[in-house]
Amino acid sequence: MEENQFEVRTDLAVEAKDMYVEKDESKEEQIEGVVVSEKEIGRVKVTNVEVDEVGAKHIGKNAGSYHTVYSDAIKKQDTSFQEETAKVVTSQLLDLMSKNNVAQDASGLIVGLGNRNVTPDALGPLVVDKVLVTNHLFIHEPQYVQEGYRKVATFTPGVMGVTGIETSDIIQGVMDKYQPGFVIAIDALASRSIERVNATIQLSDSGIHPGSGVGNKRKELSKETLGVPVFAIGVPTVVDAVTITSDAIDYVFKHIGKEWREKDKPSKALAPAGLQLGDQSLSEEDLPSLEKRQKIFGMIGALDEQEKRALMQEVLTPLGHNLMVTPKEVDGYISDMAHLLAQSINAAMHENINIDNFAQYTR
Amino acid sequence: MEENQFEVRTDLAVEAKDMYVEKDESKEEQIEGVVVSEKEIGRVKVTNVEVDEVGAKHIGKNAGSYHTVYSDAIKKQDTSFQEETAKVVTSQLLDLMSKNNVAQDASGLIVGLGNRNVTPDALGPLVVDKVLVTNHLFIHEPQYVQEGYRKVATFTPGVMGVTGIETSDIIQGVMDKYQPGFVIAIDALASRSIERVNATIQLSDSGIHPGSGVGNKRKELSKETLGVPVFAIGVPTVVDAVTITSDAIDYVFKHIGKEWREKDKPSKALAPAGLQLGDQSLSEEDLPSLEKRQKIFGMIGALDEQEKRALMQEVLTPLGHNLMVTPKEVDGYISDMAHLLAQSINAAMHENINIDNFAQYTR
Amino acid sequence: MEENQFEVRTDLAVEAKDMYVEKDESKEEQIEGVVVSEKEIGRVKVTNVEVDEVGAKHIGKNAGSYHTVYSDAIKKQDTSFQEETAKVVTSQLLDLMSKNNVAQDASGLIVGLGNRNVTPDALGPLVVDKVLVTNHLFIHEPQYVQEGYRKVATFTPGVMGVTGIETSDIIQGVMDKYQPGFVIAIDALASRSIERVNATIQLSDSGIHPGSGVGNKRKELSKETLGVPVFAIGVPTVVDAVTITSDAIDYVFKHIGKEWREKDKPSKALAPAGLQLGDQSLSEEDLPSLEKRQKIFGMIGALDEQEKRALMQEVLTPLGHNLMVTPKEVDGYISDMAHLLAQSINAAMHENINIDNFAQYTR
Amino acid sequence: MEENQFEVRTDLAVEAKDMYVEKDESKEEQIEGVVVSEKEIGRVKVTNVEVDEVGAKHIGKNAGSYHTVYSDAIKKQDTSFQEETAKVVTSQLLDLMSKNNVAQDASGLIVGLGNRNVTPDALGPLVVDKVLVTNHLFIHEPQYVQEGYRKVATFTPGVMGVTGIETSDIIQGVMDKYQPGFVIAIDALASRSIERVNATIQLSDSGIHPGSGVGNKRKELSKETLGVPVFAIGVPTVVDAVTITSDAIDYVFKHIGKEWREKDKPSKALAPAGLQLGDQSLSEEDLPSLEKRQKIFGMIGALDEQEKRALMQEVLTPLGHNLMVTPKEVDGYISDMAHLLAQSINAAMHENINIDNFAQYTR
C-alpha cells in the first residue's frame, strides 16, 4: 500500500502535528521548527502551535501561529460558558493581530467562506451576517461614526460548486477594489476527531486555501500572495466515516486496555455491580501494547493510526460509504457557533466593543 | 413647491413613459425617441419600449430596449400559468440577447442583486440559487459537459448596508477575474403602482445601477462601462404608502365617475339589488373631468398625478409614514417568482434546455 | 350605504373605543362601562382599558382588561429599548395573571397562533419556539427541576387554511389532554393604524377567537368556555390598503390644517426657508373643522372616519386592491418582536427568571 | 454481558427480521409468522414483510404489513428517478389502504411527526407543509369541491422536548375533535445501516409510537387503540456512530475476505496494477467464516453482529461519543424527500390526482 495515497489531510495544525508524531513512534514529541505550548483560561483550553519554515515542511502546514481554543460550550448548550469562550477567542484574535502589527485604524475585510445552503458548511456566511459593518458609514455618513471604531466590511464569496468561479478569484477581485488592511476568513472544516467537532476553534495567521475544507486544494490567499495579513478562523463541523470508525476502534482498544489494567484493583473488585467508580474517560495510557492490540483485533490491531485510516479509506471510498457526516443537532450548533464567533470578532475589531458589551452589538 | 424635489423615481420604463405623458396633458402620447408596442402571447401581455438617446432625455431612462411582461400567474398561485409566463420571459430574454449579438458560446454571469435576509429584496439571490451553473465543469471536468450548454457562472454580491462595500465595486472586481461575455442581473424593484407588484417582469439591455431600487443612485454597470452586454431583469416587489394612497384616490375618482356615468342606464336601474353586472374593473375613461374631481375631493382633486404624489410624499415622509410595504404573502410570492425566473434563464442560456424540459433543470 | 356592511373590525380595544367615539362626535369621550387610564413607564406608554358587560356592548369587544403597551423599540432597532419594553410587558402580564388569581404553581399552556410560513403571521409560532418549556421535566425528570419554576407547555396549532381543521378545535383537543391552569395565546393582528404596526402589544384576559385576525370569526376560547383564564397577547403586524390610504388622507388634512393655523405665527414667518422648527408631528387638533374640510376637500372632506374607510373599502375590495401589506423589513421586525415577547413570557412564568436575567433564558 | 442490555432497537421491519436471523446462525431464514417477498418495479426495489401475531413476538415488531421501498434517487439527486420512486410509494400506500378497507370517501388525517427546527428530524412537518388540504373546503366552501377528492386534514404535533406534552396525547386530543377515517403519520427514523439513510421508505399499517425514533418508547397509536387504520411512513435520516463503525468493520472483513477469495484468480493476477476489474461492491458471501475472522481479526472477529454493536455501544455511550449523525448534505436530502413523499400522498389521497399530474399539486 503506497503510504501517501490515502494520507489523511487535516485543516488543524494540532492534528497535523499529532499525525507527524504518530507516523513514527520512535520520533521525539519535540519536532524541529514546531513549538507547542498550552494554557487554560477558566474552563477553556488554548494550544498554541508556532510553526517556522522548517516545521512547515515536517507537518505539512504553512509557517505561522496557530491558536486552538477548546471548549464544549456549544455542545453543552451552556450560554454563559459560550460567552466565556467568546472572550478567549477575542483575546487570541487580538494576539494574532498584534503579532502581525495590524494598526488600530487598519480596515478589515471579514470573509465568510462556505455554502450558505448546506448547514454544516454555512458557518462562515452566518458569522458574516452578524458582524458589525462600518465601512460604508465611514465613507457615506462619517458624521455618524464615533471614535473607537475601525472600518469593517464583509463579504460572502460562495463556493465554486454554486458560483462556477474559483472562490479565490472572487476574493481577489473584491480585494482589488476594497483594498483592506487585513483579512479575516471564517470557514467550516473537517476534523480528524469526532471530539473536536463544534468544540474547537483554530485561529491562525498562515493564510487560507478556499475550498480545501471539502477535499479540494485551491489557490492560497496569504500575506505572501496578498500583501496584507490574512487571519483564518476555522471550526470543524463535519467528520468522515473513516474518522468515526477509527476513533471508535481506538476507544475499544483503550476500554479493553483499561479493563485489563484495572481488573485486579481492589476498588473495582469490591464495587457493587453497576456502580461507576471514578473517571469514566479514557486516556492515551489506557491504550494496550501492540501485542495486546493484535490479540483484540488481529492484523488491524497491528496497524498504526495512519495505516488503520488508510485501510478504512481504501475500503469505504469506492463503496461510496466514506461520507461526511455532522451531528443531528447541526442547526442549533452552527447557529450558536456563528453567534459566538461574531461576538468575538466584533469585540476584536473595535476599541468601543469589548468583552463586557459585545452581546449588544451582535444579533 | 419645487417640482423635482419630490419627483417619483421609477425603475420601470413603462412607468417612466407614463409619468412623462402625465406631466403635461397637452403632450401627445407619442414621445420623440420612444417607440412603444404591445402584444399578447396567450394570457400574457408584453409591452416593448424602445428608447433612443433622444427619448432617454425625455423619460429619464437609459437608451435601450425594455420588454415588460405582465402576468398575474404568481398572485393567482396558478402553476400552469406560471410555466406559460416563464416561456414568454425566456423568449423576451432570447430576443434581447439576439439584438445584442450574444454568441451561442458566449459565457454568462448571472448576478443576484439584493439582500437575502429581507424577503421582498431577496429575489435576485433566490433566482441565482436555482440557476444551472456550468462554468466550473467546463474548466475542471470538461469530459462531462455535453454539447448544447454554454458556460454560466453566478454571483451574489450582497447589498452595501450589509457588506459595507459598493455593490458595483464588488461586481466589477469579480468581472475583472471572470470576464464573462455578457451579464444578467436580477433585482427586486419598487413600483409606482400596486397592481404591478409581483405581476410585472421587466427585461432590458440598458444596464443596471445596483442599489437604485431602494432610493440610492450608485455607479452604473452597462455595456458602455463594462464592454459587454448587461441585461437586467427587474420585478417590482414593494410599493410605498404614497403609491397605495395615490392609487386608492384614483380608484375612488374612477368609481364615482363610473357611478355617475352609469346611474341612468336602464340595465343598472333594473338589476336586482346585489347582482353585479358586467365588468367590475375601472378604466381610464371612468376618470371624471377635472371639475368633477374637484367637487369630489376639493383642492386635492385638482392636482395632477405628479402633484398629488408630491403632496403625499411631503406630508408622509417627515412623519416616517412613507414606509415601503409588501403584500402579506411575500414569502410565497417571492419563492414562486424566483422559480419562474430561474426556469426562464436556464432555458435561455442553454440550447439543450427548452420550454418543454426546463422544469427538470430547476429546483 | 348600510352602516355596518363595511364596518371595520379591529382586534385592539383602544381602536374599538376610538371608533365608538368617532362614530358620533356628540358622544362624550367617557363611554359607559369602559374605563381608560394611561401611564408612562420610562419610554414606554401603557394604556389600560377596563371593559364591563355594558361597555362590551358599546365597543364590540368582550368584557375584560386590555393593557396596551406602545413602544417603537422594534422599529428603531434599539436593543436596549427592546429590553426595557420587555420588562414592561412582563409587568403587565403579571398584573393580568394576578387579577385572575393565577396561583404560583398553576401550569401554563403557551399557544402560538398563526401560520409559520407567512412571516407577518408567524409571530405566535416564533415566540413559542423561544419559550422555556418545563412541563416534561416535571413529569419525567423531576429531580432536575429546581424551586422557582412552574410547569409550562407550548403548542402551535397552525391555521385552518393549512391544517383543514378549526384552530379552536385543535386547541380544545389538546387542552382536554393537558388541562393547564391557564392559557396564554400569542397572535399577529391587523391594525387600523399604520403607526401601531410592530409598535403595539395588547395583553388581555378576555379570551381569543383564533382566526379572527385575518377576517374570520371562529369559536371563542375564553375563561367562560374553557374554565381557566385565557390571556391573549396580540401585536399588529399588517395593515390593509384602506388603512394606509385613510391614514394618509388624514395626515394631509392635518398637515394643511396646521399650515393654516401656523401661517401667521411670527416664528414661522421669520424662519429661514427649509429650517424645520419645533415638533414636526401632527395632532388631533391640527384637523380642520368639518366645515373647513368640506370646503377644501369636497365631499370626501365631509365624511367621518368610518364613512371614509367604508367608501375606500367599497371601492378597493371588488378590485382586489384592498390587500394586506406589511413593512418591507418584516423578517427582522417579527424576529425581534418574537424575542421580546418570549423574554417577557419567560420572566412572567417563573419566579427564578426575572427582568435581570431573562436574556439568558431566551435564545 | 447481558444480551438484551445493549440490544439495538430498529424502526425498520426488514432490519428487525435480519437481526432476528443474525442472532442465531443456526436459525432458518424462514421465521414462523413472518413472510417476506421482494419485487422490483423499474429501478425501485420493494420488500414486503407480513408479520402475524406469532411473528410479532419473534422480531419484536407489531403485527401488520411492512412495505419497504429502496431507491437511491434522492442521494443521486436524480429528479426523474425521484418521480419514478414517488409513483411506487403511491402504489404501496394505496395497497395498504386497500388491505385495510379504507373507503373511497373516508377522511384522512396526515400527521407530520418530528421537530421542525432540527433538519434531519423535520421530514414529517415538511411533508405536511406540501400536502393538499381539503377538509375545510368541504365544510366551509363545498361548492368549490369537485368530484374525485376526499377530505384531508393535516397536523404537526411537535416533539415533547419542545412542547412539554406527550406527542401521543396531542394527537389523540386532535383526533377526538376531528375524528378522521384513517391516519397517516410521517416520521424520520434512525437506521441500523448507513446505506439505508435517505434511501429507504417504509410504509406500514401497524401503528406508530411517537418519539420512538430517538430512543424513547411512548404510547402507541394504532388501529387497536384508536379504532381507525393508522399508516406510518418512515424514512431513516440518521445513524449513530455505533452503526457507522460496525458497518465499516464489516466492510473491512468482507474486503479482506474478497481479496483472499480472488487472489489466485488469473484475471486478477494478470490485471495491471491499479486497474479495477468488474464489480466493486461487496456481498454477504465475501464475509470470511467465523474461524477465519477470528484468526485475522482476533477477539472482535469472533463477535457476531449483535455482540459487536453491543461492545461498541458499551464503549462509546458513556464517553458521549455514540452521537447521532446525518450526511452533510442533509438540507437538500430532506427537502427532496419531503417533496417526493408529499407527491406520493397527494396522489394516493385523491382519485383526481394521479401519477401523471401529481407534480402540479405539490409545491
pLDDT of residue B274: 42
Q: Are strands D152-155 and D182-190 parallel, antiparallel or unpaired?
A: unpaired
Residue of B nearest to C334 (CA): B118
Q: Which chain B residues contact residue C301 at CB under 8 A?
A: 297-298
Q: Distance (Å, rounded) from C-alpha A290 to C-alpha D297?
A: 14
Q: Distance (Å, rounded) from C-alpha A184 to C-alpha A93?
A: 10
Side-chain half-sphere exposure of B334, counting CA atoms within 13 A: 31
- Residue B10: which of B284, B219, B193, B210 has the closest Cα? B193
CB A298 within 8 A of CB D303: no
Helix-helix angle D167-178:C167-178, to 10 degrees: 130
Q: Is the dihedral of CA A139, A143, A146, A148 positive or negative?
A: positive
Query: How confident is residue C41, by pLDDT bands cut at 50, 70 and 90?
Result: very high
Backbone angles phi, psi at A19, to 5 degrees: -60, -40
Question: Who among D194, D238, D245 is closest to A328 (CB)?
Answer: D238
Query: How confident is residue C134, by pLDDT bands cut at 50, 70 and 90?
Result: very high
Here the contacts of B57-63 (C-beta below 8 Å, separation 24 or greater) are B57/B33, B58/B20, B58/B31, B58/B32, B58/B33, B58/B34, B59/B13, B59/B16, B59/B17, B59/B19, B59/B20, B59/B31, B59/B34, B60/B16, B60/B20, B61/B13, B61/B16, B61/B206, B62/B206, B62/B207, B62/B220, B62/B222, B63/B206
Asked if C163 reaches chain A (Cβ–Cβ under 8 Å), the answer is no
Residue A305 CB neighbours (<10 A): 16
CB B154 within 8 A of CB B133: yes
Cell of D15: 432490519
B-interface mutation test, from A110, A170, A218, A346, most B Cβ less than 10 A away: A170
Q: Distance (Å, rounded) from C-alpha C176 to C-alpha B189?
A: 50
Please state, in angstroms and as integers, the Cα–Cα distance from residue B135 to each residue in A161, A315, B101, B331, following that order: 9, 33, 21, 30
Residue of C nearest to D155 (CA): C163
CB A152 within 8 A of CB A132: yes
- Note down pLDDT in tens along chain A; length 363 residues: 233 333 446 788 888 888 777 665 555 568 889 999 999 999 999 999 999 999 988 888 889 999 999 999 999 999 899 999 999 999 999 999 999 999 999 999 999 999 999 999 999 999 999 999 999 999 888 888 888 899 999 999 999 999 999 999 999 999 999 999 999 999 999 888 888 999 999 999 999 877 644 444 457 888 988 899 999 999 999 999 999 998 888 888 888 888 777 765 655 444 444 444 444 577 777 888 888 888 888 888 888 888 888 888 888 888 777 889 999 999 999 999 999 999 999 999 998 887 667 666 675
Backbone angles phi, psi at B246, to 5 degrees: -60, -45
What's the rounded mean pLDDT across residues C16-45? 81
Cell of B288: 371624471
- Residue C17: which of C37, C38, C31 has the closest Cα? C31
- Write out pLDDT tens, residues A14-71: 888 887 776 655 555 688 899 999 999 999 999 999 999 999 888 888 899 999 999 9
Reduce the DSSP state of residue A230 to 3 states and report it: strand
Residue of D nearest to C133 (CA): D164
If phi > 0 it is left, if psi is from -120 to 50 it is alpha, else beta; for residue B160 that is alpha
Question: Who among A166, A170, A177 is closest to B169 (CB)?
Answer: A177
Q: Which chain A residues contact residue D311 at CB under 8 A?
A: 252
HEC assignment per residue over D234-268: EEEEEEEHHHHHHHHHHHHHHHHHHHHHHCCCHHH
Decide if domain D13-238+327-361 falls under CATH 2.70.50.60: no
What's the rounded mean pLDDT across residues B201-230? 79
Any idea what DSSP says for residue D101? T
Range 95-154 of B in CB contact (< 8 A) with C? 117-121
Query: How confident is residue C157, by pLDDT bands cut at 50, 70 and 90?
Result: very high
Q: Which chain A residues contact residue B346 at CB under 8 A?
A: none
Count of residues in chain D: 363
pLDDT of residue C9: 63
Helix-helix angle C13-23:C305-319, to 10 degrees: 110
What's chain B's average pLDDT? 85
pLDDT of residue C199: 96
Range 196-215 of C in CB contact (< 8 A) with B? none
Instruction: Spell out the residues 6+ positions from residue B241 whose beta carbon is closer than 8 angstroms to its own.
Output: B312, B316, B321, B322, B323, B325, C194, C244, C248
- Write out pLDDT tens, residues B43-80: 999 999 999 999 988 888 889 999 999 999 999 999 88
Cα angle A356, A358, A359; round to 5: 100
Any idea what DSSP says for residue B9? P
pLDDT of residue D1: 28
CB B226 within 8 A of CB B174: no
Helix ranges (DSSP H) in A200-352: 223-226, 241-262, 266-270, 290-301, 305-319, 330-349
Is the pLDDT at C271 greater than 90, yes or no?
A: no
AA letter at B301: G
- Residue A335: which of A74, A52, A84 has the closest Cα? A74
Side-chain half-sphere exposure of A148, counting CA atoms within 13 A: 7
Cell of C50: 377596563
Asked if D328 reaches chain A (Cβ–Cβ under 8 Å), the answer is yes
Partner-chain contact D136 C176, CB within 8 Å: no
Please report, for chain B, the start and end positions of each structural domain, with discontinuous segments joined by +: 13-238+327-361, 243-324
Residue B202 CB neighbours (<10 A): 24
CB B71 within 8 A of CB B43: yes
Asked if C37 reaches chain A (Cβ–Cβ under 8 Å), the answer is no
Asked if A155 reaches chain B (Cβ–Cβ under 8 Å), the answer is yes
Helix ranges (DSSP H) in C215-329: 223-226, 241-262, 266-270, 290-301, 305-319
- The Cα of A244 is separated from the nearest Cα of chain D by a number of Å equal to 7
pLDDT top residue among B311 and D181: D181
CB A205 within 8 A of CB A226: no
Residue of C nearest to B258 (CA): C315
Q: Distance (Å, rounded) from C-alpha D314 to C-alpha D310?
A: 6
Partner-chain contact A282 D194, CB within 8 Å: no
Q: Distance (Å, rounded) from C-alpha B22 to C-alpha B28?
A: 10
CB A236 within 8 A of CB A316: no
Unique residue bearing C-alpha cell 420571459? B89
Residue of C nearest to B243 (CA): C245
State ipTM. Answer: 0.86
Asked if C156 reaches chain D (Cβ–Cβ under 8 Å), the answer is yes
CB C296 within 8 A of CB B298: yes
Q: Where are the beta strands (DSSP E) in chain C?
A: 34-41, 44-51, 64-70, 108-112, 152-155, 182-190, 200-204, 230-240, 324-327
CB A217 within 8 A of CB A264: no
Chains that touch D (3 or more CB pairs under 8 A): A, B, C
- The Cα of B331 is separated from the nearest Cα of chain D by a number of Å equal to 13
Partner-chain contact A164 B173, CB within 8 Å: no
Partner-chain contact D194 A247, CB within 8 Å: no
Partner-chain contact C325 B324, CB within 8 Å: no
AA letter at B181: G
pLDDT of residue B29: 63
pLDDT of residue C356: 67
pLDDT of residue B28: 58
Asked if D80 reaches chain B (Cβ–Cβ under 8 Å), the answer is yes
Partner-chain contact A173 B169, CB within 8 Å: no
Burial of D181 (C-beta count, 10 Å sphere; 0-12/13-18/19+): middle
Cell of B354: 427548452
pLDDT of residue C297: 81
Residue D60 CB neighbours (<10 A): 14
Asked if C158 reaches chain D (Cβ–Cβ under 8 Å), the answer is yes
Question: Who among B79, B80, B360 is closest to D80 (CB)?
Answer: B360
**For chain A, how big is the Rg over CA atoms in Å?**
22
AA letter at D270: L
Question: Who among D136, D151, D175 is closest to C160 (CB)?
Answer: D136
What's the rounded mean pLDDT across residues C23-47? 83
- Residue A239: which of A68, A10, A69, A5 has the closest Cα? A10
D-interface mutation test, from B80, B336, B346, B363, most D Cβ less than 10 A away: B363
C-interface mutation test, from B244, B251, B297, B330, most C Cβ less than 10 A away: B244
> What stretch of H or E contains D155?
strand D152-155
Cα angle C192, C10, C55; round to 5: 125
Asked if B313 reaches chain A (Cβ–Cβ under 8 Å), the answer is no
Residue of B nearest to C239 (CA): B328
Q: Which chain A residues contact residue D309 at CB under 8 A?
A: none
Residue of D nearest to B77 (CA): D363
Range 180-199 of B in CB contact (< 8 A) with C? 194-195
B-interface mutation test, from D360, D361, D362, most B Cβ less than 10 A away: D360
Low-confidence ranges of chain D (pLDDT < 50): 1-8, 212-217, 268-279
Asked if C163 reaches chain D (Cβ–Cβ under 8 Å), the answer is yes
Q: Distance (Å, rounded) from C-alpha D74 to C-alpha D72?
A: 5
Residue of B nearest to C194 (CA): B321
Reduce the DSSP state of residue D202 to 3 states and report it: strand
Instruction: Spell out the residues 6+ positions from residue C317 whose beta carbon is closer than 8 angstroms to its own.
Output: none
Residue of C nearest to B246 (CA): C245
Instruction: Spell out the residues 6+ positions from residue A152 whose beta carbon is closer than 8 angstroms to its own.
Output: A107, A108, A109, A110, A131, A132, A133, A134, A135, A349, A350, B164
Q: Distance (Å, rounded) from C-alpha C83 to C-alpha C354?
A: 12
Torsion angle (degrees, nearest 10) of CA D140, D144, D150, D152:
-50
